Amino acid sequence: MRPDGLRQVNAIVQVTLAAFLFFAASVSSWASCIPTEEISEMAGERVALPLGDAIRRGLALDPRVTQSWSEVSARAAGIGVARAAYLPYVHAAVEVSRERDQSTSSALGGDANGASSAGQWRANMSWLLLDTGSRGARLERARNRLAVATALRDVRLQQVMFDVARAYYAALEAQSLLDTALKVEGLSWQSAMAACARYEAGAGARGDVLRARTAYDRQVLERLDAWAKLVARKGGLASLVGIDMNMTLDLDGEDANGPEPRDPLAPVEDLLADLRQQHPMLREAYAEILAQEAGRDAIKRAWGPSLTLVGDVSRGTRTGSMTTERARTGASIGIQITIPLYDGGLRKHRTMEAEALVDVARAKMRASERNIASSIWQSHRALRALSLRRVVEVRLHDDATQSYEIARGRYREGVGNIEELISAQSALADAEHAMAASRARWNLAKLTLIANLGQLNIDVISTKAQRPSQ
């Protein structure tokens, strides 16, 4: 090869090596300019947990559900106790005894010993045939007590379902916020890299790099806070449904973007109609009133004559050395009439107490109606406000996205400055966070309204958990 060719090859190699070293130094400089922190997903086995399965797990695990069913069983047994008053009462008794006598007689010139045995059995029967209605009042009170326990069971079931669904939507919101934080962090990293590139090229200032790094570090902190919140909320949900909190839950998330479905909201007046027959808390309060009234009637009607059929059969025997064996049999049947005459004012004061308990139950009923109506009105207004807010949030997100794209393009072209880019980036981050939290808040508000109406069940929750058609 000619010397001129060798010199050209050496020159090309030197230029290429210099360019490579410059590029490597730039990349290294940028990497040191913008440090990155990685976080690892929660360790542990992954468990798919749809909302419907979470509700079923929560119902099977919560002790309030077991307590409610036990109370219903106890109240159902109370009806059997009240019905037993209409049936005859029969009981039997058996008695066995042995006697030993020892006596000294001077006439006989010695001691005389004797022993005897006695046995007796008896069967008694009583049957209340007629009273003034106290048995019917006690039976009615037992039935209303069962209605109270049944309504209270429905209240607790709905509360358990609401608690699990609220925890589920809170975890979904935390997941959306973490995804948004990661997205915004990526945008901040790109802006910081652009600032570093301009600084390395001599077209930017060191202050621009520091401002970009400050914005990026702030987004890193936001991401770390969102991740910690997600871990805490998933752990709380796992505790409610009986899953190891170290496991990673895969929830059925929803797309946070796009318009919110607009379910038609009925007027509040229509929602409040027929509330007493539908809401379990009002059914429980109304049944409590009826139970207290029945108890009052039972006390009043107990002060009256009653007619009871009574009878008994008995047989006894006695044998021994000092007696002759004999058997005795007896039987009787008759009518017993009981007429209360004086009780020292017991009936009067018990009736006054029962009347006061009825008034207390009615006052609780009015308070429950007022509180439930207020809760329905507030949750209805909150849901309507969120529905209207969603339209603004979508427009805000679109405008913030366009503003960020324009600011980023201007900064790349050297026309804009870093303050303009960071300001547009912050506005986009706020819009992203609003969009991420909006869907979970809307679903939770809809769930709260249904719960306040007393119409919450697993089918309704599963329907709300499905992704609506856009």
pLDDT tens-digit profile of 277-336?
Answer: 788 999 999 999 999 999 999 988 888 888 999 999 988 777 765 555 567 888 889 998
Whole-number pLDDT of residue 206: 79
Q: What's the CA gap between 150 and 152, in Å, rounded?
A: 5
Give me the sheet containing 110-130, strands edge to edge: 89-105, 110-130, 306-320, 326-338
Q: Is the Cβ–Cβ distance between 302 and 347 less than 8 Å?
A: yes
Instruction: Tell me if residue 156 falls in helix, strand or coil.
Output: helix
- Our CA angle for 286, 291, 293, nearest 5°, is 95
Strands 248-251 and 46-49: parallel
Listed residue (242, 57, 165) closest to 456, CA to CA: 165
Whole-number pLDDT of residue 247: 83
Q: Is the Cβ–Cβ distance between 44 and 246 less than 8 Å?
A: yes
pLDDT tens-digit profile of 363-376?
Answer: 999 999 899 988 88
Mean pLDDT of 129-157: 92
Residue 417: is it exposed, middle or buried by C-beta count within 10 angstroms (0-12/13-18/19+)?
middle
Q: How does residue 257 score in pLDDT terms, banded at 50, 70 and 90?
A: very low
Q: What's the CA gap between 229 and 244, in Å, rounded?
A: 18
Buried b / exposed e along 46-78 (16+ C-beta atoms within 10 A): eeebebbebbebbbebbeebeebeebbeebeeb
pLDDT tens-digit profile of 229-255?
Answer: 999 999 899 999 988 888 888 887 654
Q: What's the CA gap between 392 and 385, in Å, rounded?
A: 11
What token pair was written down for 128?
A: 């209340």
Q: What's the CA gap between 411 and 163, in Å, rounded?
A: 48
- Our CA angle for 200, 201, 204, nearest 5°, is 80
Q: What's the CA gap between 439 and 148, in Å, rounded?
A: 37
Mean pLDDT of 88-97: 86
What token pair was written down for 342?
A: 């004086």
> Could you tell me the domains of the chain?
39-87+133-303+344-465 (1.20.1600.10), 88-130+305-339 (2.20.200)
DSSP codes, 386-403: HHHHHHHHHHHHHHHHHH
pLDDT tens-digit profile of 47-83?
Answer: 888 888 899 999 999 999 999 999 999 999 999 999 9
Q: What's the CA gap between 374 and 405, in Å, rounded?
A: 46
Query: Phi first, then psi: what are they for 92, rounded to 5°?
Result: -125, 155
Q: Where are the alpha helices (DSSP H) in 248-345?
A: 268-272, 275-278, 280-302
Identify the weakest region by mean pLDDT among 5-14, 135-144, 211-220. Answer: 5-14
Instruction: Tell me if residue 283 falls in helix, strand or coil.
Output: helix
DSSP codes, 358-388: HHHHHHHHHHHHHHHHHHHHHHHHHHHHHHH
Instruction: Tell me if residue 101 falls in helix, strand or coil.
Output: strand
**Residue, of 319 and 145, whose pLDDT is higher:** 145
Listed residue (439, 437, 433) closest to 400, CA to CA: 433
- Our CA angle for 273, 275, 278, nearest 5°, is 125
What token pair was written down for 91?
A: 């009981």
Is the pLDDT assigned to residue 431 strictly greater than 50? yes
Q: What's the CA gap between 330 and 353, in Å, rounded?
A: 46
**Residue, of 439 and 40, whose pLDDT is higher:** 439
Instruction: Tell me if residue 317 falls in helix, strand or coil.
Output: strand
Residue with tokens 């895969």: 250
pTM tops 0.85? no
